[in-house]
Amino acid sequence: MDSRRGSRFVIDPKIRQVGFVPAGCESENPNASSAVAAIANVDVNPTSDSPSPVMIPPRLADPLPRAAPLPVPSPPPRKHTSVEIPLQGSYNPTDSVLGTSPPFSPASNGRYAGVPSSEGPDLSPSFVSRASSAMEGMSLREDHLGSPSASRFATVGEYAMFKQQQPQQPATAVTKVYASSLPQEPVQSFAPVGKEDSSKPLKERTTKAERRAKQEADREAKRIAKESAGAKVVEGEARASSNVVGKASRAQSQKKDSASEKRLSAVEKASEKEKKKEIPAPRMQFDDQSRVAKAKKRALIEQTETKHRVELFRHLPQFVYGAQLPSLEAKFFHDDAMHPHPAVYQVGLQYLTGDITGGNARCIAMLSAFKELIKDYCTPRERTLIRDLTARVNNNVSFLTTCRPLCISMGNAIRFLKTRIAKLQLTLSESDAKSLIIAEIDRFMQEKINYADNEITKLAVTKIKDGDVILTYGSSCVVETIILHAFSLGKKFRVVIVDSRPKLEGKGLLRRLLGRGISCTYSHINAVTYIIQEVNKVFLGASSILSNGTVYSRVGSASVAMVANAFHVPVMICCETYKFHERVQLDSICFNELGDPDALVKIPGRKGLSELEGWSQSSHLKLLNLMYDVMPADYVSMIITELGMVPPTSVPVILREYRKDPILENFATFGKDSNPIKFFRASLEYYRAC
């Protein structure tokens, strides 16, 4: 672990530059605006692990000194203020107090009571959890710790506790300055919480002994706080035990605050619960060794992780490809309770070996397998269908995930299935419930995939004119149907298929188009800048479109789109709305999929090339076979969905409206009485109206 930390130190700044930082932002100008300072701070901070502003869960009591950013916008670190202030005291509290600056302690922000930080060796996890639970009511405003010593606080809650006592301390001058400077600060910013301050002077000011003393005092105070929260006693004891300056006053303040704290925490807990529901399930970070070890125990497949992983992509799953299949095959005939359904098993195998690829195909295969599962399902005794079936589905989904990470569209489909199961009426008989869910799955496939594809085809065909030269990248089944349909309508156009190693998916498309007699040009992505000059439209498929308009698709698509954009060729993305996702992603690092690195080594038709052979023996060489990349919305001229042709900025609108789709809701509530065909027709009309 230590070695990893060391290397992280070097590499992490690069991440920031890729993902977030506009050029020139890495300067550590102390007088820069707070936003820049925040970024700069991120930049310098060697411990912050992931650049993602979204969806990375905080880890409580994480032994690694890494701060996980929160999914919520959190207040910016106030680095600049710490510079403004003449620092004289032994310890400089850098933030406001809950009570003194109400506008900056929004309860809703305190979603996470604990923020990982490096803890002293004497801080046991139990202590941490105690601290965080005691301080749940406290706000998370203390995101920016005043000195490196702050890293000793196990949780922000604890730290906040400490802060709370500051006004009564002799060093309050500092705090006041803060309080006054607070209102000018922007509240919304994607700054990771729990950063250590990197400013040098501060570091030197507090000695180790002082920090230790502070910590001791703080812990003591916290204990008191907890006690006083339960029953307002033990001040005397607190005083007696205190041996640090300012203890007494602190204890008094404790008494005052504890009541209001309690009230706050009750409110907050409720809102917290609500919010937690909305947070998507945290995705596993594969550089977290303890979690990986845990997951391994659960997994059906024995997976050995590849040794040479590219540093930036360590958080993504990457396994030795050869090892997975045999272990899975060996367990083919096993049957225990955890064993996935045969149909699911088969689909999993097909995912693993790449027999099924493509977002739609994978999704349909998965849903068909789940249909089989539900058909064969019977509720065990003394269990309810809704719960047991959800558990079963979860089990099977996790099996599929081990075979190959799910794509976003599959995630959406699973979510759909699970909500349908959860919404089943308890009064339904088992067979009715099963047939209802099967009908729902059928409808999803029919409506969201099949019908959507038809509709996209119809819309997109209108964009193809005689004499067009259409460029497409890789092999997208929607784009293929569009081209074939346009051809069958008698339009005269030419297709340029751009392909790339190692998958060479475009070959299949080329074959099918040639089989129809469409004139094609086949080229590799290296030549895209040349070939783009003769192209006047670019049609691309997508794995997913995110709510900021970012298109997540096969690696290489972004480059094609960028080149097309540079040459002022319109880029049209064909994507069904069920592939849309609320997530915001700014880079292709936080979420991606790693392919088989060996695929890069093998070059078809050239057996003589053996430079990379035995690459795994070399410790200096690491191969990266990324599967997806992210195309910024700027490059996208239009997104063609079944709901119409929209600009990328409309994605959040569709997401929002799609959620409260009246037809979907109706269908769900109508239950078994409703006729799927009737609803399909209704939805057709609805979509036409759109």
CB of 347 to another protein, least distance (A): 9
Q: Is 269 in the site for another protein (CB under 8 A)?
A: no
353 sits near another protein (criterion: CB under 8 A): yes
Question: What's the CA gap between 100 and 222, in Å, rounded?
Answer: 19
CA 378 to chain centre: 35
Stretch of 14-22, 84-92, 111-119, 339-347 contacting another protein, by CB under 8 A: 339-347
Asked if 602 is part of the footprint of another protein (rule: CB under 8 A), the reply reads no
CA angle 449, 453, 457 (to 5 degrees): 175
Please tell me whether residue 323 binds another protein under the rule CB under 8 A. Answer: no
Does position 320 interact with another protein (CB under 8 A)? The reply is no
Per rule CB under 8 A, is residue 361 in the interface with another protein?
yes
Identify residues 443-472 at the interface with another protein (CB under 8 A).
Answer: 445, 449-450, 453-454
Structure tokens belonging to residue 350:
């097909």
From 295, 312, 484, 612, residue interacting with another protein (rule: CB under 8 A): 484
Q: Which stretch binds another protein (CB under 8 A): 363-371, 388-396, 614-622, 671-679?
A: 363-371
Question: Is 345 one of the binding residues for another protein (CB under 8 A)?
Answer: yes
Question: Rule CB under 8 A: is residue 333 a binding residue for another protein?
Answer: yes
Of 360 and 592, nearer to another protein (C-beta) is 360
Per the CB < 8 A criterion, the answer to whether 594 and 667 are in contact is no
Question: Which of 222-230, 346-354, 458-466, 622-630 is the region at the interface with another protein (rule: CB under 8 A)?
Answer: 346-354
Q: Which of 289, 306, 292 is nearest to 623 (CA)?
A: 306
Among 205, 283, 308, 339, binds another protein (CB under 8 A): 339
The distance of closest approach from Cβ of residue 319 to another protein in the complex, given in angstroms and rounded to an integer, is: 17
Q: Which of 367, 407, 563, 651 binds another protein (CB under 8 A)?
A: 367
Q: Which structure tokens are listed for 155?
A: 């949780």
- Give the DSSP H/E element, type plus range, for residue 494: strand 493-499
Question: Min. distance of Cβ 683 from another protein in angstroms?
Answer: 18
Contact stretch for another protein (CB under 8 A) within 131-139, 337-345, 567-575, 611-619: 337-345
Alpha helices in 190-285 (DSSP H): 200-205, 208-230, 235-241, 247-278
> Does position 295 bind another protein by CB under 8 A?
no
Q: Pairing state of beta strands 493-499 and 468-473?
A: parallel
The only residue of 364, 471, 572, 640 in contact with another protein, by rule CB under 8 A: 364
Q: Which of 122, 329, 634, 665 binds another protein (CB under 8 A)?
A: 329
> Which of 303/360 has CB closer to another protein?
360
The least CB distance from residue 481 to another protein, in Å, is 6
Query: Residue 487's closest CA among 519, 447, 444?
Result: 519
Q: Which of 627, 628, 661 is nearest to 642 (CA)?
A: 661
Q: How far apart are CA 531 and CA 533, in angstroms?
A: 5
What number of chain residues touch another protein (CB under 8 A)?
A: 50
Q: Which is nearer to another protein, 122 or 355 (CB)?
A: 355
> Judged by CB under 8 A, which of 11, 330, 338, 391 binds another protein?
330
Select the residue interacting with another protein from 200, 277, 297, 334 (CB under 8 A). 334
From first CA to last CA, the distance across the chain in angstroms is: 55
Amino acid of residue 214? K
Choice between 355 and 665, CB closer to another protein: 355
Alpha-carbon distances, residue 312 vs 50, 172, 589, 624, 676 (angstroms): 10, 43, 7, 10, 47
Nearer to another protein, 237 or 329 (CB): 329
CA distances from 121 to 63, 118, 154, 206 (A): 10, 9, 10, 19
Candidate list 239, 255, 331, 491; residue touching another protein; CB under 8 A: 331
* Shortest Cβ 303–another protein spacing (Å): 17
Tell me the window of 227-235, 270-278, 343-351, 614-622 that interacts with another protein (CB under 8 A): 343-351
What is the closest distance, in whole angstroms, from the C-beta atom of residue 465 to another protein in the complex?
Answer: 20
Nearest to 549, CA basis, from 560, 538, 537, 561: 561
Q: Does 335 bind another protein (CB under 8 A)?
A: yes
Tokens read off for 434? 């099963």
Q: Which is nearer to another protein, 296 or 339 (CB)?
A: 339
Distance CA 197, CA 12 (A): 17
Q: Shortest approach of another protein to residue 412 CB, angstroms?
A: 16
How far, in Å, CA of 150 to CA of 118, rounded? 9
Interface region with another protein, contact rule CB under 8 A, candidates 80-88, 112-120, 244-252, 476-484: 476-484
Q: Which stretch binds another protein (CB under 8 A): 18-26, 266-274, 478-486, 630-638?
A: 478-486
Q: Kindly list the distances between the CA atom of residue 93 and the CA atoms of 145, 183, 412, 503, in Å, as whole numbers in the listed order.
A: 8, 17, 45, 56
User: By CB neighbour count within 10 A (0-12 exposed, 13-18 middle, 19+ buried), where does 92 fall?
Assistant: buried
Q: Can the peptide bond before residue 502 be classed as cis, meaning omega within 30 degrees of 0?
A: yes
| 181 counts as binding another protein under rule CB under 8 A | no
Q: Residue 413 interacts with another protein (CB under 8 A)?
A: no
Sheet holding 628-631, edge to edge: 580-581, 544-546, 551-554, 628-631
SS3 state of residue 572: strand
The interface with another protein within residues 510-539 (CB under 8 A) comprises 510-512, 514-516
The DSSP element (H or E) to which 308 belongs, if any, is: none
Backbone Cα Rg of the chain: 29
* Smallest separation, CB 554 to another protein (Å): 13
Report which DSSP code applies to 574: E
Interacting residues of 545 by C-beta distance below 8 A, sequence separation 6+: 551, 552, 573, 575, 579, 580, 581, 639, 648, 651
Task: Rule CB under 8 A: choose which of 116, 358, 411, 597 binds another protein.
Answer: 358
Closer to another protein at the Cβ: 499 or 629? 499
User: CB-wise, 159 or 399, nearer to another protein?
Assistant: 399
| Interface with another protein (CB under 8 A), residue from 18, 349, 600, 655 | 349
- Residues 265 and 137: beta-carbon distance below 8 Å: yes
| Long-range contacts, stretch 413-420, CB < 8 angstroms, 24+ apart | 413/363, 413/366, 413/367, 413/444, 413/448, 413/578, 414/366, 416/444, 416/578, 417/367, 417/370, 417/393, 417/441, 417/444, 418/390, 418/393, 420/668
Stretch that binds another protein, among 61-69, 217-225, 252-260, 334-342 (CB under 8 A): 334-342
Tell me the window of 134-142, 335-343, 653-661, 670-678 that interacts with another protein (CB under 8 A): 335-343
Strand partners, 524: 499
Least Å distance, CB 297 to another protein, is 21
Complex with another protein: residue 346 or 650, whichever CB lies closer: 346
> Whose Cβ is closer to another protein: residue 247's or residue 448's?
448
Residues making contact with another protein (CB under 8 A): 325-326, 328-335, 339, 342, 345-346, 349-350, 353, 355-358, 360-365, 367-368, 442, 445, 449-450, 453-454, 475, 477, 480-481, 484-485, 488, 507-508, 510-512, 514-516
